[in-house]
C-alpha cells in the first residue's frame, strides 16, 4: 500500500522542481522531504530521485509515479470535498493566502468570525503576492487566496479556479503636506512627472501596474525608493522623499505631514478570492468566502 503523505511529497517535488521548494510548499524541513522520498523508494523498490548537480531530478520511475500521485491526490481532494459536503459541517483546515494589505485589512475580522461561528474549522493564513498566491492555489499548496488586479491591468487567472468578488479598493496619491498639489480635490498621476516616486519592489504586480500606468500617460517615472510595506512608503513620504500611490484597504493611520488626494482616473484595485473548482462543494471553503465578503463589506463602511 502506497503511503499518501509520501505520494504528496513526491508530487510536491515534481511541481516545485527541488527539495527546498517541496519543503516550502509542504511547510516541512528539507530533511523531512528527503526522508519521505527515501521511504517511498523502499516501498516501490525503485529509485525515484537522482542527483543532478547540486539538486535532484526525477528518474523515469519517479516521473511515472509522480503522474499517478497527482491524479491520486486530485481524487482524494474530490473525495474530501464530497464527504465534507455530505456531512454539511464546516470542519477541517483551510489554508488561506493574501497580499499584505488584504491580510491586514480583511483577515483579522474574517478569521475571528470563523473561529466564533465554526470552532471545528482551523484557518491558517499567510502573506503572498497575487501571482504567487494563484500558483499555490493551483498547486494545492493553498486552498484559497485573496488576490487583486487593477482596473487597467488584470491579473492572469488560469482555468480550473473559481472566483468571488470582495470589494473595489480606491487609491490616493500620498505626498508631503507642503506639496503644491496637496490642497487639490483630485489629481492625475501624470501631474507628478517631476516628482520622485516611492514604489513597491520591482517584480511585484503592483510595481508593474504603476510603471504600466505612468508610461501609458507619457511619463517615465523616477523611482527612487522601493518598499513593500505601505507604512514604510508613507514614512518616506513624511520625510519628503517622494510621492506614492496608496490604496485604502489596510492602510491604517496616516502619519502627520502626509496629504492624501484621490486619483482623478478613479484607479481601483479589484479584490477577489480564488479557489479550485474541485473544492467548490466544501462547506469550509464557502464559509471562508462568506466571512471574507462580510469583512470586505465592513472595511468599506
Domains identified in the chain, total number: 2
Do 161 and 287 fall within a single domain? Answer: yes
Do 259 and 146 fall within a single domain? Answer: yes
CA–CA gap between residue 181 and residue 37 (Å, rounded): 61
Do 150 and 213 fall within a single domain? Answer: yes
**C-alpha cell of residue 83:** 464527504
Residue-range definition of the domain harbouring residue 230: 92-301
Do 53 and 135 fall within a single domain? Answer: no
Q: Return the CATH number at 34.
A: 1.10.10.10
The HSE-up count of residue 23 (CA atoms within 13 Å, CB side) is 11
Q: What are phi and psi of 145, to 5 degrees?
A: -140, 145
Do 62 and 191 fall within a single domain? Answer: no
Which pLDDT value is given to residue 85?
A: 67
Do 225 and 98 fall within a single domain? Answer: yes
Which residue is associated with the grid cell 493574501? Answer: 98
Of 293, 14, 287, whose CA–CA distance to 140 is shortest?
14
CA–CA gap between residue 35 and residue 9 (Å, rounded): 10
Per DSSP, helices labelled H in the chain are 4-16, 19-26, 30-44, 60-87, 100-105, 107-117, 130-138, 205-216, 230-238, 283-299
Q: Return the CATH number at 112.
A: 3.40.190.290
Do 132 and 14 fall within a single domain? Answer: no
Do 113 and 246 fall within a single domain? Answer: yes
Do 134 and 177 fall within a single domain? Answer: yes
Do 20 and 142 fall within a single domain? Answer: no
Q: What is the pLDDT along the chain (301 residues), one digit of tens a residue?
A: 788 889 889 998 988 889 998 888 787 899 999 999 999 989 999 999 998 888 889 999 989 998 888 888 878 877 776 777 667 789 889 999 999 999 999 999 999 999 999 999 999 999 999 999 998 898 888 999 999 999 888 998 888 899 999 999 999 999 999 999 999 999 999 999 999 999 999 999 999 999 999 999 888 999 999 999 999 999 999 999 999 999 999 998 999 999 999 998 777 899 999 999 988 888 999 999 999 999 999 998 7
Do 169 and 262 fall within a single domain? Answer: yes
Mark which of 85, 114, 145 sits at the end of a domain: 85
Mark which of 64, 85, 106 sits at the end of a domain: 85
Q: Is the dihedral of CA 203, 205, 206, 211 positive or negative?
A: positive
Q: What is the pTM of this model?
A: 0.79
Which pLDDT value is given to residue 86?
A: 66
Mark which of 54, 85, 116 sits at the end of a domain: 85
**C-alpha cell of residue 211:** 510603471
Amino acid at each position: 500500500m502506497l503511503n499518501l503523505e509520501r505520494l504528496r511529497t513526491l508530487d510536491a517535488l515534481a511541481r516545485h522542481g527541488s527539495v527546498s521548494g517541496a519543503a516550502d510548499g509542504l511547510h516541512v524541513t528539507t530533511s523531512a522531504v528527503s526522508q519521505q522520498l527515501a521511504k517511498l523508494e523502499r516501498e516501490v523498490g525503485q529509485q525515484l530521485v537522482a542527483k543532478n548537480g547540486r539538486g535532484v531530478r526525477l528518474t523515469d520511475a519517479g516521473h511515472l509515479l509522480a503522474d499517478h500521485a497527482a491524479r491520486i491526490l486530485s481524487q482524494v481532494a474530490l473525495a474530501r470535498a464530497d464527504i465534507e459536503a455530505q456531512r454539511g459541517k464546516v470542519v477541517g483546515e483551510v489554508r488561506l493566502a493574501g497580499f499584505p494589505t488584504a491580510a491586514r485589512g480583511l483577515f483579522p475580522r474574517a478569521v475571528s468570525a470563523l473561529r466564533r461561528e465554526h470552532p471545528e474549522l482551523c484557518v491558517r493564513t499567510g502573506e503572498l503576492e497575487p501571482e504567487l498566491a494563484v500558483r499555490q492555489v493551483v498547486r494545492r499548496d493553498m486552498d484559497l487566496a485573496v488576490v487583486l488586479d487593477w482596473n487597467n491591468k488584470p491579473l492572469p487567472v488560469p482555468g480550473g479556479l473559481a472566483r468571488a468578488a470582495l470589494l473595489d479598493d480606491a487609491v490616493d496619491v500620498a505626498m508631503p503636506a507642503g506639496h503644491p498639489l496637496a490642497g487639490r480635490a483630485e489629481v492625475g498621476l501624470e501631474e507628478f512627472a517631476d516628482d520622485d516616486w516611492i514604489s513597491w519592489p520591482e517584480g511585484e504586480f503592483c510595481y508593474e501596474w504603476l510603471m504600466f500606468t505612468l508610461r501609458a500617460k507619457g511619463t517615465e517615472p523616477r523611482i527612487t525608493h522601493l518598499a513593500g510595506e505601505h507604512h514604510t512608503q508613507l514614512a518616506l513620504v513624511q520625510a519628503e522623499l517622494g510621492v506614492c500611490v496608496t490604496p485604502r484597504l489596510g492602510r491604517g493611520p496616516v502619519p502627520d505631514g502626509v496629504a492624501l488626494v484621490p486619483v482623478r482616473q478613479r484607479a481601483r484595485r479589484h479584490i477577489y478570492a480564488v479557489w479550485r473548482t474541485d473544492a467548490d462543494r466544501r462547506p469550509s471553503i464557502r464559509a471562508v468566502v462568506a466571512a471574507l465578503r462580510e469583512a470586505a463589506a465592513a472595511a468599506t463602511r
